[in-house]
Amino acid sequence: MADAVVQLLRNALCTAKNFHFLGDSFLYDPQVLTPYYAFPSPLDQTTPLELLIAITQFYAFVSISVAGYHMMARAGLGKLQLITRLIASKAKSAPGKETTKDKKGNDAKDADKHASTARRLVTKSLLNESDAAIRSFFVGTNVLVLGLAFFWLFANSFHVTDTNWIGGMWGLIHALTVMEVALLVFLYYMVVDAGGAVGRSHRMNDFAATIAAAKTLDIDNMNVEQYIWLVDGWLPFWVEGVSGSAAVEEKMLNKEEEAVGAQLGALSKNIGPDIAERIVRQARLSLFEGYREYLYLVLNGFAFYGYLVCIIVFYYHEESQQPQYIRTMLIWMPNADADWTGNAVGDFAWTVEPLVMMLSPMVLNAMLPRKKKEKLA
């Protein structure tokens, strides 16, 4: 939440600067800072408003860079190493071909079926988290790059890019270009996540209708996603990346598998209508999350285009020599107008985005049933 608040403040300040809001106030007077610190030229042109923006940009430089590193190291490489060890351990301790023929009674046969399904669900969950770890490493790399690029925006607020330090204006444009490439990756995953959430909502509704009509569970064909819905969330230790020694991890893995088997046994005996109703409610939440992700996609799409215009104007500064497709991308505006509009659109879109982030928990909480809210409180 703190990151969203700072993002809101940062881009709101940038938007205020774009529109010269309170233009006659001290916020635009660089002389206000002179009694406190004598900046060398051209840094002495830094206004109080630009100083406030710089502080929030430096926060983004540190926090986003650290977040990207943690995604790469913990949620990425660390989890991937854990999953690899667990899969190797599971392969070594794979059960033999013991079947229900060696047992007596229906209860024993059911227990054997539940244990077999539990092994399959655990294995599939491990494979899913392996894919998630690879994605986290890749996304974390882009987050880290995005965070590092904020250093040039921070320097630009102090007019450092008007000098030859840290690459000058070319350094700033290169940093913006890197941010655009990273943002393009995020746009792709927004499409994937939005479609995934909407599709999951439809699957949840179909599954809820199936179990409500059958009043029994098809244990043999159950997948990890359906099991998560049935138990109202499944977070085994490998999802959270918790690890220990090889012996401890193996014991934890066996206990988790046994817990899943026991849970399947309990569910097979009691699949009341309340479970189907809960899944339907969760389907509505998933649908909301999918639409919210599409909203993020639209906002970041505007931001991507807006900041891209600023880069294009820099490289095609001679308007008379701009190709037709460049003129079209600039909506046939003069360079100065296109640059201002693009920057303003990007800053405004990234001002709205954190507002959506901050308001979403309120909407989601309102969609939860009363009993669930009381538990959360």
pLDDT value of position 99:
46
Task: Tell whether the model's pLDDT for residue 370 goes beyond 70.
Answer: no
Closest CA to 353 of 318, 287, 306: 306
Q: Are 234 and 227 in contact (CB under 8 A)?
A: yes
Instruction: Report phi then psi at 201, rounded to 5.
Output: -60, -45
Task: Tell whether the model's pLDDT for residue 259 goes beyond 60.
Answer: yes
Note the pTM of the prediction, 2 decimals. Answer: 0.88
Is the torsion defined by CA of 173, 175, 176, 181 positive or negative?
Answer: positive
Q: How confident is the model at residue 301 (pLDDT cuts 50, 70, 90)?
A: very high
Q: How confident is the model at residue 74 (pLDDT cuts 50, 70, 90)?
A: very high
SS3 sequence, 271-306? Answer: CCHHHHHHHHHHHHHHHHHHHHHHHHHHHHHHHHHH
Q: How confident is the model at residue 362 (pLDDT cuts 50, 70, 90)?
A: confident
Task: Tell whether the model's pLDDT for residue 270 goes beyond 90.
Answer: no
Contacts of 355 (CB under 8 A, 6+ apart): 8
d(CA 92, CA 254) in angstroms, rounded, equals 13
SS3 sequence, 36-99? Answer: CCCCCCCHHHCCHHHHHHHHHHHHHHHHHHHHHHHHHHHHHHHHHHHHHHHHHHHHHCCCCCCC
Task: Tell whether the model's pLDDT for residue 267 goes beyond 90.
Answer: no
pLDDT digits (tens, 9 = 90+) for 7-57: 999 999 999 999 999 999 999 999 998 888 888 889 999 999 999 999 999
d(CA 102, CA 114) in angstroms, rounded, equals 16
pLDDT digits (tens, 9 = 90+) for 131-182: 999 999 999 999 999 999 999 999 999 999 999 899 999 999 999 999 999 9
C-alpha distance across the termini of the chain, in Å: 18
Question: Any idea of the CA torsion for 103, 109, 114, 115, to the nearest 10 degrees?
Answer: 10
Looking at the chain, how many residues does it have?
377
Angle at the Cα of 369 from the Cα atoms of 365 and 372, rounded to 5 degrees: 80
- Exposure class string for 67-104: b at 16+ Cβ within 10 A, else e: bbbbbbeebbbbbbebbebbbebbeeeeeeeeeeeeee
d(CA 280, CA 136) in angstroms, rounded, equals 29
Q: Which residue has the tokens 């995953």?
A: 189
Instruction: Please report, rounded to a whole number, the percentage of residues in the chain having pLDDT higher than 70.
Output: 94
